[in-house]
C-alpha cells in the first residue's frame, strides 16, 4: 500500500504539471540569442565545486547525438533504483535516444523550458537526462526555468545526464564542455567530448568509459605556462578538483613562485623534516626535545592518510614510544571543521605539530587558507616545533612537489604546487635517493631556479633552526642551487650525510661530517712455502 500510495501521489503531481500547459502556456517564442560575450557552459554554481569540494552527485556526459544503449541503461538503472523511481527525459527532438524507461517526458521547446509549471516534474524526478541534437540548444536553454531548476536539482545529489549538444549546459563550475575543439578560456577547464565519447563524473573523479572515444581537456596559458591540452584514453581518469585548481592558478596574477621568494630562515621555532621510510628514534627524540620535553603538548595531523583514518595512527605510537606523554591526533576533511573552535583549541596550546605521511594534497584540501593553517604557523611563532615525514615533509616547504591527487610521479603538479611555506623559498622532496628522484629535482629547479631544492632520503631528516639545516639520520640530503654554475663533472647538487650543516640562505656548506675511518685492510696473503 505504501508503494502504491507513493506512486499515486507522484502521478498526480506529474499530471498537474503537464495540465498547467493547456491553460497557461504562452505562444511559442523565437529562439533566444546569447550575448556575444556569453558562453553556453561554465555556468557558475556556488557551493558545488569549489576547489576542494567534490561534485554532490553523479553526472554522465556524452558528445554523441545518439548515445549508446549501454550508457542510457546504466543511467536508468541508477535513477530507478529507488522505492518510487521517476526518471525524466528532456529532449529537443525524438531522434537519437530511446524513451523507454523514462516516466517523465518533455520536449524542450522554447515555451516549455521557460514555463515554471512544466518543470515541476523536477521535484519528483529521481534522475534527469537532457538530450539535444540541435547546435542552438544551449542558447535557448540559458536563463530559463529549466536552467534554474537543473542547477538546484544537481545540488540535491541525484543523477543527471547530458548528451549531444546538451553537454554545453552541464553546470559544473569552472568547466566548459564542447563537442568540438574550442579555444580555452582563462580560469576555466575546457573538456572536448567528440562523437562516441562517454564520461562519468563522480565525487572528484572524471572517468572515461571503456567503450568511449578518447577525450581531451584544455586550459589557457598563464603563470609562465603555455596552453595545455591533454588527451585521456578510454578507462583514463582525471581529478576534477586538480583541473579546476590548475585553471585558477593559471588565471591568478600572483605567480606560483615569486621571482624573489622569501628566505629559508626559520626565525622562530624549529622544523624537523623527514624523508619518509621510517623515522629513527634519534630524530623523533630530537623533535620531542624541541617541543619542550616528554610532557609537552604535541598534535599529530593525520589528514594525509587515506580513509578510513585510524583513531591513533602509527606516528602517534611512534612519538609515545620515544617518550612523548601528551600526544593528541587531529583530522578532518572539512574546512568548516578546520575553522571551528573545537578543532582549533588544542592547537592553541600545542608546542609541537607533526604532519603524517600519506599524500600531501590532502593537507591542502583540508587546511589551505583556514584558521587551522594559521594555528600551525602560530606554533612556530611561539617557539615550538613543526615536524613531519614523507607527505609531512613536502607540505612544509614553499613549493610542494608531487601534489597530484592521482599519483606521486608528477613532480610539478599544477593546481597543487603551493605548500604551507614553513620553509620559505625551498622545494622539499622525500624518499629521494631510495626512489632515484635526483633528475626530478633537476627539472624542478631548472624551471624555478630561484628555489632551493632539497632532496631528503629515507630515515633521514634536516633540523632547521634559523637559516641552518643540520642533517640527522642514516642516509643523505641533497641541496640544489641554480644560482651557481652547474659542475661539468659529477652531480648538480651538494650532498651531506648525518652531522652535515648547510646555510639555507647563503646556500653553502658550513660543516661536513667527519669522514668515517677507512675499514682495516685484510692482511695480504702469505706466499705459499716453496716446495
Burial 262-300 (b: 16+ CB within 10 A, else e): eebbbeebbbbbbbbbbbbeebbbbbbbbbbebebbbbb
Least trusted range by pLDDT, from 43-57, 84-98, 100-114, 278-292: 43-57
Of 216, 184, 180, 210, whose CA–CA distance to 195 is shortest?
180
103/99 Cα distance (integer angstroms): 9
What is the separation, in whole angstroms, between the first and last Cα of the chain? 112
Q: For the residues 286-301, what does the mean pLDDT come to?
A: 98
Q: How confident is the model at residue 71 (pLDDT cuts 50, 70, 90)?
A: very high
Of 429, 436, 438, 483, whose CA–CA distance to 460 is shortest?
429
Q: How confident is the model at residue 80 (pLDDT cuts 50, 70, 90)?
A: confident
Residue 531 has a pLDDT of: 40
Write the pLDDT tens digit of every residue in 153-166. Answer: 888 889 999 999 99
Question: Residue 21 is placed in which grid cell?
Answer: 500547459
Q: For the residues 231-241, what does the mean pLDDT come to?
A: 97
**Secondary structure class of 291 (helix, strand, coil):** helix
Residue 476 has a pLDDT of: 98
Place of cell 613532480: 411
Q: How confident is the model at residue 94 (pLDDT cuts 50, 70, 90)?
A: confident
Residue 327: burial class (beta carbons within 10 Å; 0-12, 13-18, 19+): buried
Write the pLDDT tens digit of every residue in 311-321. Answer: 999 999 999 99
Q: Is the pLDDT of residue 37 over 50?
A: no
Most confident option among 4-8, 96-100, 351-355: 351-355
Q: Is the pLDDT of residue 463 over 90?
A: yes
Residue 442 has a pLDDT of: 97
Q: For the residues 379-390, what does the mean pLDDT come to?
A: 98
Residue 108 has a pLDDT of: 58
- How high does pLDDT run on average in the chain? 86
Residue 378 has a pLDDT of: 97
Residue 86 has a pLDDT of: 84
Q: How confident is the model at residue 103 (pLDDT cuts 50, 70, 90)?
A: confident
Residue 44 has a pLDDT of: 32
Residue 13 has a pLDDT of: 36
Higher per-residue confidence, 1 vs 419: 419
356/64 Cα distance (integer angstroms): 45
CB 372 within 8 A of CB 346: no
Q: What is the pTM of this model?
A: 0.85
Residue 56 has a pLDDT of: 87
Residue 409: burial class (beta carbons within 10 Å; 0-12, 13-18, 19+): exposed
Helix residue ranges, H only, 64-141:
69-79, 110-113, 137-141
DSSP state at residue 225: B
Write the pLDDT tens digit of every residue in 109-143. Answer: 554 555 666 666 677 889 999 999 999 999 888 88
Most confident option among 56-70, 89-103, 138-152: 56-70
Domains and CATH numbers, the chain: 58-100+124-251 (no CATH), 266-511 (3.40.50.880)
Write the pLDDT tens digit of every residue in 325-368. Answer: 999 999 999 999 999 999 999 999 999 999 999 999 999 999 99
Residue 397 parent element (H or E): strand 397-399
Other CB atoms within 10 Å distance of the CB of residue 461: 33
Other CB atoms within 10 Å distance of the CB of residue 193: 27
Amino acid at each position: 500500500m505504501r508503494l502504491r500510495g507513493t506512486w499515486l501521489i507522484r502521478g498526480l503531481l506529474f499530471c498537474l504539471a503537464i495540465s498547467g500547459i493547456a491553460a497557461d502556456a504562452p505562444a511559442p517564442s523565437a529562439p533566444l540569442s546569447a550575448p556575444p560575450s556569453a558562453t553556453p557552459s561554465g555556468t557558475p554554481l556556488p557551493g558545488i565545486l569549489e576547489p576542494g569540494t567534490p561534485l554532490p552527485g553523479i553526472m554522465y556526459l556524452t558528445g554523441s547525438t545518439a548515445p549508446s544503449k549501454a550508457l542510457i541503461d546504466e543511467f536508468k538503472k541508477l535513477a530507478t533504483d529507488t522505492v518510487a523511481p521517476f526518471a525524466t527525459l528532456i529532449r529537443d527532438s525524438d531522434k537519437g535516444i530511446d524513451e523507454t524507461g523514462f516516466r517523465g517526458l518533455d520536449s524542450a521547446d522554447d515555451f516549455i523550458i521557460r514555463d515554471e509549471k512544466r518543470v515541476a516534474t523536477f521535484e519528483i524526478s529521481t534522475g534527469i537526462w537532457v538530450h539535444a541534437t540541435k547546435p542552438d540548444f544551449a542558447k535557448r536553454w540559458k536563463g530559463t526555468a529549466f536552467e534554474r531548476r537543473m542547477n538546484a536539482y544537481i545540488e540535491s545529489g541525484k543523477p543527471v545526464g547530458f548528451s549531444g549538444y546538451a553537454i554545453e549546459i552541464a553546470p559544473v563550475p569552472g568547466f566548459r564542455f564542447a563537442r568540438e575543439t574550442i579555444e580555452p578560456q582563462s580560469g576555466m577547464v575546457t573538456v572536448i567530448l567528440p562523437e562516441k565519447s562517454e564520461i562519468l563524473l563522480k565525487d572528484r573523479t572524471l572517468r572515461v568509459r571503456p567503450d568511449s572515444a578518447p577525450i581531451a581537456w584544455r586550459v589557457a596559458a598563464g603563470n609562465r605556462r603555455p596552453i595545455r591540452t591533454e588527451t585521456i584514453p578510454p578507462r583514463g581518469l582525471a581529478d576534477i578538483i586538480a583541473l579546476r585548481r590548475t585553471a585558477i592558478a593559471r588565471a591568478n596574477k600572483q605567480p606560483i613562485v615569486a621571482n624573489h621568494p622569501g628566505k629559508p630562515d626559520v626565525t622562530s621555532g624549529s622544523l624537523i623534516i623527514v624523508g619518509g621510510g621510517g623515522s629513527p628514534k634519534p630524530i623523533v627524540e630530537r623533535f620531542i626535545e624541541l617541543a619542550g620535553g616528554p610532557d609537552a603538548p604535541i598534535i599529530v595531523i593525520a589528514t594525509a592518510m587515506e580513509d578510513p583514518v585510524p583513531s591513533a595512527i602509527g606516528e602517534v605510537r611512534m612519538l609515545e614510544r620515544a617518550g612523548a606523554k601528551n600526544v593528541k591526533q587531529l583530522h578532518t576533511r572539512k574546512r568548516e571543521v578546520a575553522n571551528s573552535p573545537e578543532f582549533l583549541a588544542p592547537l592553541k596550546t600545542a608546542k609541537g605539530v607533526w604532519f603524517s605521511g600519506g599524500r600531501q594534497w590532502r593537507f591542502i584540501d583540508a587546511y589551505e587558507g583556514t584558521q587551522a593553517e594559521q594555528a600551525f604557523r602560530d606554533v612556530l611563532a611561539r617557539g615550538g616545533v613543526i615536524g613531519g615525514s614523507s607527505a609531512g615533509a613536502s607540505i612544509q616547504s614553499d613549493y610542494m612537489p608531487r601534489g597530484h591527487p592521482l599519483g606521486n610521479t608528477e613532480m610539478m603538479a599544477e593546481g597543487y604546487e603551493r605548500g604551507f611555506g614553513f620553509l620559505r623559498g625551498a622545494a622539499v622532496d622525500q624518499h629521494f635517493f631510495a626512489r632515484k628522484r635526483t633528475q626530478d629535482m633537476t627539472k624542478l629547479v631548472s624551471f624555478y631556479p630561484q628555489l632551493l631544492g632539497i632532496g631528503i632520503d629515507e630515515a633521514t631528516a634536516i633540523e632547521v633552526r634559523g637559516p641552518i639545516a643540520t642533517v640527522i639520520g642514516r642516509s643523505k640530503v641533497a641541496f640544489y642551487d641554480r644560482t651557481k654554475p652547474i659542475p661539468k663533472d659529477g652531480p648538480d647538487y651538494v650532498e651531506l650525510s648525518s652531522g652535515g650543516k648547510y646555510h639555507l640562505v647563503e646556500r653553502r656548506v658550513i660543516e661536513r661530517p667527519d669522514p668515517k675511518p677507512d675499514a682495516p685492510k685484510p692482511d695480504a696473503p702469505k706466499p705459499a712455502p716453496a716446495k
